[in-house]
Amino acid sequence: MGVAKRTRKFAAVKRVISKRDDRLKANKAKAEALAKEKAQKKTVSGELVREAPQVPSHMFFQHNSALVPPYNVLVDTNFLSHTVQRKLSLLESMMDCLYAKCNPIITSCVMAELEKLGPKYRLALRVARDERWQRIQCDHKGTYADDCIVDRVTQNRIYIVGTNDRQLKIRLRKIPGVPILSVARGKYVIERLPGAPDS
């Protein structure tokens, strides 16, 4: 004799409410909170309020009128190491590229990064410790120079940034009016500086 097949009756199967169902109290509370936030963002006339970053007054489209000689050049860690590798003089090479007087500026984050990198970067550290360069003390926590440079340039667009870091260049290109100085082909090359000679 064969075994009888046991099938579940359709009505006996338990139905479970999904977590995203509108009937649950938590989902109702979230929907109400989102509706309140949207209502607060609207003005009296019913238009949405959008927050746009304040553009500096010296910016005219992509042209930054605050960049005038003597140029202030924020120097990154790998820019110094590439300068030492190519045996370039920091100040003279900058002046040859920009055709103007330059002030290399080194932040405390860059100094900390060079000190952390050890004996391989001792020549770059010696170049950075030169008394002729201007120093800026950072007031934030940590020693990550890329974030420090991006924040400083976003707040005050009076700097040219010297870097060979690809990721930092990508971040800086999103900020209008910030030229990038880098080491290429045994010399310094500037990009995005209005009126600069093509090099």
Domains of the chain by range and CATH? 59-191 (3.40.50.1010)
Whole-angstrom Cα distance, residue 112 to residue 148? 12
Provide the pLDDT confidence category of residue 189 given band limits of 50, 70 and 90.
very high
Q: What is the mean pLDDT of residues 30-49?
A: 73
- Tokens 């007031």 sit on residue: 139
Does the structure show a pLDDT above 60 at 199?
no
Interval 135-175: pLDDT, tens: 999 888 877 899 999 999 999 999 999 999 999 999 999 99
| pTM for the full predicted model | 0.71
Q: How far is the C-alpha of 57 from the C-alpha of 177, rounded, in Å?
A: 12
Lowest mean pLDDT among 58-62, 94-98, 147-151, 160-164: 58-62
What is the mean predicted confidence (pLDDT) over 2-17?
68
Which class for 185: exposed (0-12), middle (13-18), buried (19 or more C-beta within 10 A)? exposed
